[in-house]
Structures are given as C-alpha cells and as structure tokens.
Amino acid sequence: MTGAYPPAPRLPRLLQTVLHTKRHAQFLGAQARRFGDVFTVRLLPPYPDRIVVFSRPEHIKEIFTADPADLHAGEAYRELAMIMGEHSVLLTDGREHARARKLLMPAFAGTALNGYRALVEDIAKTQVERWHAGSTEHILARMEDLTLDVITQVVFGVADERRRAELTPRLRRVTDISPVVLLGWKWPWLRRFGPLRRFAETLADIDELLYAEIAGRRAHPEIDQRADVLARLLAVGSGDDPGTEPLSDAELRDQLVTLLLAGHETTASALSWALHELAAAPEIQDRARRAARDGDDKYLEAVVKEALRHRMVIGRVQRQLTRDLTIGGVALRRGARVSTSIVLAHQNPANHPEPEQFRPERFLEGTVAPNTWLPFGGGVRRCIGAGFSLMEGAVVLRAVLTRYRLALPGAPERGRVRNITNVPARGARLVVTALND
C-alpha cells in the first residue's frame, strides 16, 4: 500500500485553513470542480495536516458501514474533550462508545420522544408569545433562547427557576466558545489568563451545578416519575450484563454537556434557516401553515430536513483510520483523516435535483437516496438526538406559523461560519406579523 494522498490545492496551508474554516462551502466546491469527487486539503493545527474529502454516495457508504474499529470518530474530535469530557459519546470509540450509546438510546426512542413533546410545546409557546408582532425579530437569537430553554428543562430536567437562572447564562457562555480558547487550551499555563481563565471558571461553575442536580436526583425517591432525559439516563443500566453498568456521575455530566453542545447551536441554526426560507417563499409558508393547523408533522419535518439540506448547518463528518485501509479506491495509511462532505453531497444535483431550490416536498416523494442527506451523520455514529431534533423542529414551526406570518425585510441572508456552525449572517432578521392583523 503506497498511502499516497489524492491531489490537493497548492495554496499555502494557512490560506487553506482560513478558507476551510470561514468559506467552507465555496472552498470545497472549488476543489471538487477542479479535482473531482476525492481530493485532499492541507491545514494547520488544531486540524490534522491532511484531510481526504469524499462526497460520492458509494464512498460515504463505505465510510459509514466500515468496521468502527477501523475508522474512529472520537479521535477526529479530541479537541472538544476540554468541554465535553473524556466520557462523551461523541469522543469515545470501541467498547466505551458502544456502551454509552446503548445506555443513551432509550432516552431518545419513540416512546421517550412522545413524553418530551408536551414540555417542548409549552416552552415553544411561551417563547414565541414573547415576540413583538409588527416588528423585525432576530430569529437566530430567539431560537437560541428557545433551544437553550429546551435543553435546561427537557434534557437536564432543571425545573427550579433559581437554579435555571444560575445555569443558563453559564451554558450560553460555553456554547459561544471563542476559537482563541480552543486553540490555547492545550497549553495549561495559558488557562490562568484572560478568556481561557474565564472559560475554565465557567466550566467549573457548570460542573458544580450539574453534579448538584445529579446528586439531588439520585436522592429523589420518585425519580421514575420524571420524564426528562436526565431522569431516563439515571434509570438505565442494570449491571447484570457486562457493559450495562449504570452511568456514573462523571459519565452523566459528560453526556449532558455533549447533548448541550450538539443540540443547542445546531438546532437553533437549523430552525432559523427553516423560518428564513419560509419567509422567502410565501407559497411554501402557506402550505406549512396549513400543515401546522392540520397537525401534519410530516410536512413540518420535511421543512426542517430541507433546511438542513439547503443550508448545511454542519459541513462535514470526520473519521480517523486506525489501520491501512482503501476507501473509494484510494489507499490510505493508518492515522489518515477522512471527511464525508455534507456540503458537497447536499449541493450535488445528481443527489438532489435543482439543489439551489428550497423544496420540502423532495422529502415526501421518496427521491432522497441513502447517503446523500447527512446532517446527522450515519452508521453506528448517527446522531442519537436526530429524532428529538426533528420533533422539536416540528413543534417550534407549529408554534410560530399558527401565530405569525413571516416576511424578509430585504434580500435573503447569506451564511457565515460561527465556531463550526453555519448561521444566518445577520441573525435571520424577519418581519413578524400577527395572523389576525
């Protein structure tokens, strides 16, 4: 096996890193037009030196269905351990990942989702009723407030208003992490200064609050009557079989913080884009409103799915080879990093005809083929919160569309990369009008 990398642009690594981070879709699109479906990008730390980019459905299938022992996902996101912790389901591999996933999955199964819906509906109604009809709302900020409220109440199960008031601003600071903190965290001596010191203090405060919540729940005699995610996680695991031991306090903390980071900004961005696209397409907005009134969750979920396809909240999924392997006919050596490009897969007209068009109906027609729609990843690493996210999206769209009509105040917004998430550049500013006006 030669281990030769596919072709790469000759741009300086610094420039490639900036473009890969800040102009991800445009940069990868240009390389795909030049090199084809498989190519390499060369980057600076904290990224690996080289990443091999794949986007054809058959290549993506190879990656998602490969033996998890050969392609580690946790290794590709180790820099996030500083926040999520060593036990995070996103950062572990092998038996530890399989055990965590087995214990987490029941909290996101269909029956569990039905138990969360009523509380999500109450939160969405309360949040949306605070909007000012006849004004221009910054929808991204509103969605961030809403999704953070969902996480603190439905996921963490923090019902006490005083404790929520302590926890919420700290969670907001963590989710808005600065690139300076990510880059500087690997040097412990820097944590005594400036933004790194403040971030370390915030993490310590969050840990104290979460561990107190977990301890209080363990001591609660009626824990099985609670329906939030934390209550379900505390109840799982018998210990009778190897690998089913209940989650420890440290494991619970790490999984809760992972659910926060994976489900806050991404869901807020997806909902902002969905509402932005509905405002830009009045006919689709009217159909979505009829669906909301009729209780048609399938169409509302199709709107969210199309927003995730059309605007690509996250642009890539990565894996790291643990042994020499051939993918898509390319021989790669152990340690190589591969990326399944969500951006290129979603923009490819062979996968999605007229990809520039926002058309939710494509998800109701059975025309979206496997391994061409990737916002939740795939294979054994598919996001366990996918069903929760789609349920939450349908609930929020119903709350908005049955109260307000949406319109753009000007031209449609472009996206910008914040952290690793594609968000509306101007915050998804929309004119909100009450339906009875």
Asked if residues 295 and 325 have their Cβ atoms less than 8 Å apart, the reply is no
Helix axes 249-263, 161-175, angle to 10 degrees: 60
Contacts of residue 346, Cβ cutoff 8 Å, sequence gap at least 6: 309, 310, 312, 352, 355, 372, 373, 374
Q: Would you say the C-alpha torsion 275, 277, 278, 284 has a positive or negative sign?
A: negative
**CA separation (Å) from 374 to 230, 317, 344, 368?**
27, 9, 10, 11
Radius of gyration for the chain, computed over Cα atoms and rounded to the nearest angstrom: 22
**Closest by Cα among 337, 307, 338, 319 to 422:** 307
Give the distance from CA 176 to its chain's centroid.
14
Q: Is 209 annotated as a binding residue?
A: no
Q: List the helix and strand counts (H, then E) for the chain.
A: 17, 12
Q: How far apart are CA 21 and CA 49, in angstroms?
A: 14
Contact between 47 and 17 (Cβ < 8 Å): yes
Decide if 271 contacts 263 (C-beta within 8 A): no
Please give the C-alpha separations between residue 71 and each of 15, 250, 358, 384, in angstroms, as whole numbers: 28, 26, 34, 19
How far is it, in rounded angstroms, from Cα 205 to Cα 170? 8
Name the nearest CA neighbour of 229 among 87, 83, 108, 382: 108
Under 8 Å between Cβ of 8 and 40 = yes
What residues form the annotated binding site for heme? 383
What residues form the annotated binding site? 383
